[in-house]
Amino acid sequence: MSVLVGNLAPAFNAKAVINGIEIVDDFSLEQYLGKKHVVFFFYPKDFTFVCPTELHAFQDKLAEFEARNTAVVACSTDSEQSHWGWLQMPKNKGGIQGVTYPVVADTTKTIAINFGVLSGDYDFNEDGEMIATGPMVAFRGLFLIDKDGIVRHQLVNDMPLGRSIDEALRVVDALQFYEENGEVCPADWQKGDKAMKESHEGVADYLSAK
Compute the residue count for the chain: 210
Work out the angle at residue 23's Cα, subtended by the Cα atoms of residues 22 and 27, and round it to the nearest 5 degrees.
115
For residues 100 and 94, the answer to whether their CB atoms sit within 8 Å is no
Active-site residue (options: 17, 51, 112, 171):
51
Active site residue 75: no
DSSP state letters, 141-200? EEEEE-TTSBEEEEEEE-TT----HHHHHHHHHHHHHHHHH--B--TT--TTS--B-SSH
> Which positions ≥6 away from 133 have C-beta within 8 Å?
120, 121, 122, 123
CA distance from start to end of the chain: 38
Q: Which residues are catalytic?
A: 51
